[in-house]
Structure 1
Amino acid sequence: MSRLPNSIEARDVAYQLHSYTDARRHEETGPLVIERGEGIHVYDNNGKRYIEGMAGLWSVALGFGEKRLAEAAARQMEKLPYYHTFTHKSHGPSVELAEKLVGMAPVPMSKAYFTNSGSEANDTAIKLIWYRSNALGEPQRKKIISRVKGYHGVTIASASLTGLPNNHRSFDLPIAGVLHTTCPHYRTMKAEGESEREFAARCARDLEDLILAEGPETIAAFFAEPVMGAGGVIVPPEGYWEAVQPVLKKYDILFVADEVICGFGRTGELFGTTTYRLEPDIMVLSKQLSSSYMPISALLVNEKVYRPVADESNRIGTFGHGFTGSGHPVAAAVALENLKIMEERDLVAHARRVSPRFLARLKALQDLPLAVEARGIGLIGAVEVFHETLAEIPGALGARVNQAMHAHGLISRNMGDALAFCPPLIISEKEIDEMFDIAEAAIAEVSREVGV
């Protein structure tokens, strides 16, 4: 890599701190500089082309270079480049998007509230839930339950919800009052001889036992992704949601469905809530909402949540929460155009049509040396790898396979030893084959290197 003072790589190392990166190692290796994108591909500053097998960060539904989204942003920039939604103010794009999302919701929702990222949205959901508990005269009902290996963001509160050790280490997290229950990964968590349904029932009992141990009157909400993403693409076992939801209803605990990854077609349905017949009180949306062309996220809340919040804001005289960019007109305009394109092109149905090819090729990876499990639904999946020589360093083998994929022109992401696949929803069956051909070649290459 060039270390010339004016090279972009050297300037990056000199001036930028990166997310989810070993900062000292980055000083030695430098960045991969992505220069442009087209369809499911991105190109680095040396002209090398990659299949973006992660849709950026699980998010670029329409792929890269969709001109209509750029044009929508430009039109709104010229008309009203910025305004806020504080103190009874509003503007057309935020009104239209709120109406659109409430109308799209698979369960009855009352209001939309806009934020700028999934982390902010989940953080705001916690604040709303606490605010609501106080409004109802239940100040003791503040504890939140999420799951081991769940992912809900990186703000202080949302990172506390996240059930991954590296999001807590040296950050003094999680904060008090955030609890974690069993990760529903059947292969790694099942007892000997336990069926999927039996394991799911045990997960529900674990949740209920935690609620009873803490005191049901102290538990405000349960946060969960329909399909767990950054924890390793963990698909819920058979019967999981039908066992868990009655426990929440029994103790009048709010259910927050984190649809940041699953929403807008990723599972082969418009929402993961639809796929698994969920009945959340709050839905958290982001990523594919705008194909991540602009930062935007939203919470949808039902009347059970909204009514006490509205009453409390009336008692106090204001709802004292908000972000400068909440409902940003350019981001909202891009999100509206993104949803319009998805509908015109019937992209959710397209994802459902190509999903069998995606899942078949994913499942075939399980037959390769090193692979121990392939799992997925819709257009999201992962293959987990293992070899005893690298078992003492969790993630070492996954990182090695990921590097091999990268060298062959496929951008994936390893969460420990699980390698994720979450391509843009526009991907064709031919492109699915190209993606998994590279994955197979990379796994085979590393297999030979470790002597399998």
Structure 2
Amino acid sequence: MANTPQNTMDAYWMPFTANRQFKKTPRIMKAAKGMYYTSDDDRQILDGTAGLWCCNAGHSRSEITQAVSHQIEQLDYAPSFQMSHPLPFELANRLVALAPEGINKVFYTNSGSESVDTALKIAVAYHRIRGEASRTRFVGREKGYHGVGFGGISVGGLVNNRKMFGPLLPGADHLPHTLNIDLNAFSRGLPEHGVELAQALESIVGLHDASTIAAVIVEPLQGSAGVILPAKGYLQALRDICDKYGILLIFDEVITGFGRIGNCFAAEEFGVTPDIITTAKGLTNGAVPMGAVFVSDKIHDTFMAGPEEMIEFFHGYTYSGHPVACAAALASLDIYKKDNLFEKAHSLGQYFEDGAHRLAELEHVQDVRNYGLVAAIDLKSRDGAPGARAFEVFTECYKRGVLIRVTGDIIALSPPLIIEHSHIDELFGTLAEVIQATA
């Protein structure tokens, strides 16, 4: 860290970070524009991760800056309980126009974690209103990531996110994950093998009985665990089983929403419509914290059956539909439309895929998988030091001016959707050199 005194860092307890290691050799960004960060030692760092899967339209877009600045001068905050302001209504209309058919209602949150917990509460309350209060169980998936609330880590399937926090929500069960390197290594796009894994839901139903299960929640494409793709037909099979037993299906699209793999949502890309969709990240291009839960008409209308003066859903946040966040989201949607960014995963997908798979022949690479503008390079772990090889690649790439993300020994890539051929060449060219040089 060139320009920030190290003794000023102690007070900040950083999230998902080896704090002591980081503070010995910090990596600090002081500015960003377009596809690049500027480090505190004035180097340009190509963003291969869209921040944390969120800056889909690139960094520091003037349209968002102007919208946020204007809004905070005009109306900085308005209460969200029994009061409102125009923007959340305008934004909701814009959002549902992008959603799959039949999903026409939006509930605002401030993050992906809050979106997930909101969706879980909606699911349980929905069944209770319908007279099926016994439906309180959730089914998540191994290696799933659904944020860090107690609900999200209960249905999530990443052991390090769960093991320190007690018994979590009772009754959560988990489907097997869909990563099978033995059968699907180096797949381009959706893998051929693994649709049968959806049938594990039948076994879970047989164990607990459908009358106890409120919802199944899955990421259409698992991101945080290292880009784990669903097999062809897998998501539709889950949809069919849920329909068979009256179980709600929730897609966590916090990562895949807003153009990451094509179309606005993975639900459209894969042709499978869930009952609830959770979003955040790309909703505001990462500029202001905000999330949104998309809900089917069937679910929403069930809540609206009581007296008009009754609060239908005792849930919400101080900052639900925050004016500044709404302004950022509306400006982001304008950019996505103007720049045709939801189409970029299709128009650039093949070039990005070819770049990723050129790494397949390198030493230590045991798998490459991709879809849209997402890719994973799975490295063989060193004996007795899992994660060390990928972390070394991460730090060396940063030194050479490229930002990647690693989870264990998996390199995950999800660049801004404004990426061009030259950026793709720079990203994978640097990765090839670094992986080749890493023992």
* Superposition map of 1:120-131 within 5 A: 120-131=114-125
Give 2:254's aligned residue: 260
8 Å CA contact retained: 2:239, 2:274 = no
Contact 1:9-1:30 within 8 A present in 2 as well: no
1:413 is displaced (CA, Å) by: 1.0
Partner of 2:352 in structure 1? 358
1:62 aligns with 2:52: no
Which residue in the other structure is 2:179 paired with? 185
Match of residue 296 from structure 1: 290
d(CA) in 2 for partners of 1:49 and 1:188? 39
CA deviation digits over 1:381-430, x for unaligned, max 9?
A: 1100005xx14332222212222212211111111111011000001111
* Distance (Å, rounded) in 2 between the aligned partners of 1:371 and 1:393: 16
Q: 1:264 to 1:317 in 2, by over 3 A?
A: closer
Question: Which residue pairs with 2:32 in the alignment?
Answer: 37
CA contact (8 A) 1:159 1:173 kept: no
Shift of the 289–188 alpha-carbon distance from structure 1 to 2, 3 Å rule, reads: farther
> Is the 2:218–2:250 Cα contact (8 Å) retained in structure 1?
yes
**Aligned partner of 2:361: which letter?**
D
User: What are the equivalent positions in structure 2 for 1:48-87 lying under 5 Å apart?
Assistant: 48-87=43-82
Question: Which residue does 1:432 correspond to in 2?
Answer: 424
- Equivalent-residue separation in structure 1 for 2:91 and 2:383 (angstroms): 48
Equivalent runs, 1:269-280 vs 2, <5 Å: 269-280=263-274
1:24 is aligned to 20
How many Å apart are 1:334 and its aligned residue? 0.9
Residue 26 (structure 1) shift: 3.7
Task: Provide TM-score, normalisation by structure 2.
Answer: 0.94
Per the alignment, residue 112 of structure 2 pairs with 118
The equivalent of 2:41 in structure 1 is: 46
1:445 partnered with 2:432: no
1:142 and 1:311, CA in 2 relative to 1: closer, same or farther beyond 3 A? same
Partner SS for 2:358: helix
Paired position in structure 1 for 2:399: 407
Name the stretch that deviates more: 305-314 or 408-417.
Answer: 305-314
* TM-score, scaled to structure 1: 0.92
Cα distance change on mapping 1:361 and 1:62 into 2, 3 Å: same
Higher percent of residues as helix = 1
Deviation, structure 1 residue 288: 0.9
Give 4+ residue runs of structure 1 displaced > 6 Å after superposition: none
- Any conservation in 1 of the 2:50–2:416 contact (CA below 8 Å)? yes
Counterpart residue number, 2:187: none
1:30 deviates by: 5.0
- C-alpha distance in 2 between matches for 1:414 and 1:350: 24
Shift of 1:200: 1.3
Aligned partner of 1:66: which letter? R
The amino acid across from 1:420 in the alignment is A
Identity of aligned pairs, percent? Answer: 32
Give the 3-state SS of the residue equivalent to 2:419 in structure 1: coil
Task: Could you tell me which runs of 5 or more consecutive residues in structure 2 were left unpaired when the two chains were aligned.
Answer: 185-189
1:92 alignment partner in structure 2: 86
Which among 355, 380, 385 is matched to residue 374 of structure 2? 380
C-alpha distance in 1 between matches for 2:425 and 2:191: 30
Secondary structure in 2 aligned to 1:150? Answer: coil
